[in-house]
Amino acid sequence: MAAALLCGLALTACERGPGYDADGPTRPHVVLVVIDTLRADHLGVYGYPRNTSPHIDALAARGVVFRRATSPSSWTRPAVGSLMTSLYPTEHAAVSAQHGLDPQVSTLAERFRAAGYRTIGVCGNFAHITDRAGFARGFDHWSSPKIVVDENNGDAIWAERNWWGVRHSLRALTGAELNREVFQRIPPARERPIFLYVHYMDPHSGYLPPSPYRERFLRDPEFDREQPAATSDWVRDTAAEKVAIGERGRERLLDLYDGEIASVDAAFGELMAHLEERGYPGNTVYAVVSDHGEEFAEHGGWFHGLTLYRESLAVPLVLFDSRADAVGATVDTPVDLLDLPTTLIALAGLRPDPRMRGRALGADGRSPAPRPLLAELHRDPLFEGGVRPRSHRWAFTRWPWKVIVHRAREGEFFRLDRDPGEREVLGVEDGAPAELFREGRTLIRKIVEPRRTDTFEALGPDAREALEALGYFRRGQTQGRAAD
């Protein structure tokens, strides 16, 4: 009897792990929310006049807003790879639809699990952030659900069902649908601390917001009814210049995009309310961020993953630590997604990994020391064949200057404090520092030369279908190896 009791106590201690005492977790719960394809400048807290984001704005009013946050790439896989590793895309290797995370690279979830956290990942991006690409490493529970739509009768069924022999298509879950999966996975707050990663998809194309969010933002409903549905295929064809939509069409897409943001903001509000009901807010760190932005013809293009202009790279970053006193603080120092994993590790009281590139940002509103920022785009014939070639190769920012280097090796210089929209291309005669190009090229060489691991894998039919569903790949398109 005594032996059994001791065994039971030992198992309980093991399950609770480090960071737990009799009163509950001593380390904070950490909740990382990624909202795919969310531009910072379409949120109220970043000055947008439309009421798209009341729940995110409310969290920002209690925490810290980083006003100049950017991504190290303009599409999901390399961006989230950096978010999970604090490494540049070239370093973690997930640089194309056919490359996954370097298996030798440690992830944020692995760090938290090693520290005794229960790690839970629920990701709506079933095309890029997948187990096969290495993103499930370190999670005690991982799910990347999607909807299979039976094209014979329109019924939606969970993707885990067998659909062989049934004509079907795939779609991402709405935020409300994804929450159902998330809520099933959240344990009681008094157990060991959790690291929860939730990845919503709503703002990603197609722009098909559910009612009432679609109607709330449409300025011309009659015009909308006359137009084709803004599916992922249709948006991809717009990006490929196969569809010309004009200014009214652009306004309509912006309205639909805003409806998607309002829809996912409501889902985020539901998530916050559920966590509060489960007792989490008293000792919890929240981070809300996006992986990249979206183009709406600011530089003549659409979609994302094609350029390194601000509309594709600028992302929101809101940080709230229930233990900190930083109500409504704003930080203007430029930061990027590499800074977030180091920040979450530091706020959880874990030891930093010296291999991580990012800084630890405080949740108290203090400005970090500035550092240069690098963004990358690699060749991806699979994606480019369905949309258009990528002309940009890398971008290097040392505030207030930014240079974008094209594949033809020429560069565009911008002064961001005077031209945040990157409309005026400058030269050395305008004061652009010529050494900026050399400094960026030196950094690129430092991170490229040590890389030896090739994580290339040919795409199977399931992976190809997932890419088709989100507009990255065209049916019948031949597969080519990504290269740079």
User: Using the 8-state DSSP alphabet, how is residue 74 labeled?
Assistant: S
Residue 376 CA to residue 396 CA, distance in Å, equals 9
- What integer pLDDT is reported at residue 20 of this predicted model? 46
Strand 118-123, strand 141-143: pairing? parallel
In a domain, 238, yes or no: yes
- What integer pLDDT is reported at residue 267 of this predicted model? 98
pLDDT digits (tens, 9 = 90+) for 277-289: 998 878 899 999 9
Q: Decide if pLDDT at 22 tops 50.
A: no
Cα–Cα nearest to 297, from 238, 340, 362: 238
In a domain, 382, yes or no: no
- What integer pLDDT is reported at residue 432 of this predicted model? 87
Cα 374 versus chain centre, distance = 17
Kind and range of the H or E run holding 392: strand 392-398
Residue 80 CA to residue 130 CA, distance in Å, equals 11
- What integer pLDDT is reported at residue 367 of this predicted model? 84
Would you state the structure tokens that stand for residue 472, as one six-digit string? 């990255």
Residue 121 CA to residue 141 CA, distance in Å, equals 6
Helices marked H in 364-460 — which ranges? 381-384, 435-448
Q: Answer whether 215's CB lies under 8 Å from 221's CB.
A: yes
Name which of 75-84, 174-183, 373-382, 417-426 the model is least confident about.
Answer: 373-382
pLDDT digits (tens, 9 = 90+) for 371-398: 999 999 998 877 777 788 888 999 999 9
Would you state the structure tokens that stand for residue 93, as one six-digit string? 């290797």
Q: Answer whether 395's CB lies under 8 Å from 439's CB.
A: no
Mean pLDDT computed over 409-421: 92
- What integer pLDDT is reported at residue 10 of this predicted model? 33
Mean pLDDT computed over 385-413: 89
- What integer pLDDT is reported at residue 460 of this predicted model? 64
Q: How many CB atoms lie within 10 A of CB 454?
A: 9
């991806």: which residue's tokens? 380
Domain around 241? 23-371
Cα–Cα nearest to 355, from 110, 85, 133: 85
- What integer pLDDT is reported at residue 282 of this predicted model? 83
Name which of 34-48, 58-72, 163-177, 357-371 the model is least confident about.
Answer: 163-177
Q: Answer whether 85's CB lies under 8 Å from 77's CB.
A: no
E strand segments, 271-326: 284-289, 295-296, 302-303, 317-321
**Vertex 20: Cα angle to 18 and 23 (nearest 5):** 165
- What integer pLDDT is reported at residue 171 of this predicted model? 80
- What integer pLDDT is reported at residue 457 of this predicted model? 59
pLDDT digits (tens, 9 = 90+) for 206-255: 999 999 999 999 999 999 999 999 988 899 889 888 888 999 999 999 99
CATH of the domain at 286: 3.40.720.10
Residue 444 CA to residue 94 CA, distance in Å, equals 16
Q: Decide if pLDDT at 37 tops 70.
A: yes
Mean pLDDT computed over 263-272: 98
- Total number of domains constituting the chain: 1
* Residue 249 phi, psi dihedral angles, 5° rounding: -65, -40
By percentage, how much of the chain surpasses pLDDT 70?
A: 84
Name which of 39-48, 130-139, 254-263, 378-387 the model is least confident about.
Answer: 378-387
Q: Which residues contact 249 (CB under 8 A, 6 or more apart)?
A: 227
Q: What is the pTM of this model?
A: 0.89
- What integer pLDDT is reported at residue 449 of this predicted model? 58
In a domain, 386, yes or no: no
In a domain, 450, yes or no: no
CA atoms within 13 A on the CB side of 374: 27
Q: Check residues 64 and 472 and name the one with the higher pLDDT.
A: 64
Q: Which residues contact 212 (CB under 8 A, 6 or more apart)?
A: none
Go through the chain and tell me how many residues it has. 484
Mean pLDDT computed over 265-293: 94
Q: Decide if pLDDT at 2 tops 90.
A: no
Amino acid at 162: N
Mean pLDDT computed over 95-114: 93
In a domain, 341, yes or no: yes
pLDDT-based confidence at 474, cuts 50/70/90?
low
Cα–Cα nearest to 179, from 283, 288, 274, 56: 274
In a domain, 229, yes or no: yes
Helices marked H in 317-407 — which ranges? 339-347, 381-384
Q: Check residues 324 and 122 and name the one with the higher pLDDT.
A: 122
In a domain, 13, yes or no: no
Q: Check residues 150 and 412 and name the one with the higher pLDDT.
A: 412
* Residue 230 phi, psi dihedral angles, 5° rounding: -85, 65
Q: Decide if pLDDT at 448 tops 80.
A: no
In a domain, 338, yes or no: yes
Residue 19 CA to residue 31 CA, distance in Å, equals 16
Strand 284-289, strand 64-66: pairing? unpaired
pLDDT digits (tens, 9 = 90+) for 45-58: 999 999 999 999 99
What's the mean per-residue pLDDT of the chain? 86
Residue 149 CA to residue 126 CA, distance in Å, equals 15
Q: Answer whether 31's CB lies under 8 Å from 287's CB.
A: yes
Q: Which string of DSSP letters, residue by residue, matches 207-224?
A: --PPTTHHHHH-S-HHHH
Sign (positive or negative) of CA dihedral 268, 80, 310, 314: positive
Residue 124 CA to residue 264 CA, distance in Å, equals 12
pLDDT digits (tens, 9 = 90+) for 164-216: 455 567 788 899 999 999 999 999 887 789 999 999 999 999 999 999 999 99
CA atoms within 13 A on the CB side of 252: 19
- What integer pLDDT is reported at residue 380 of this predicted model? 83
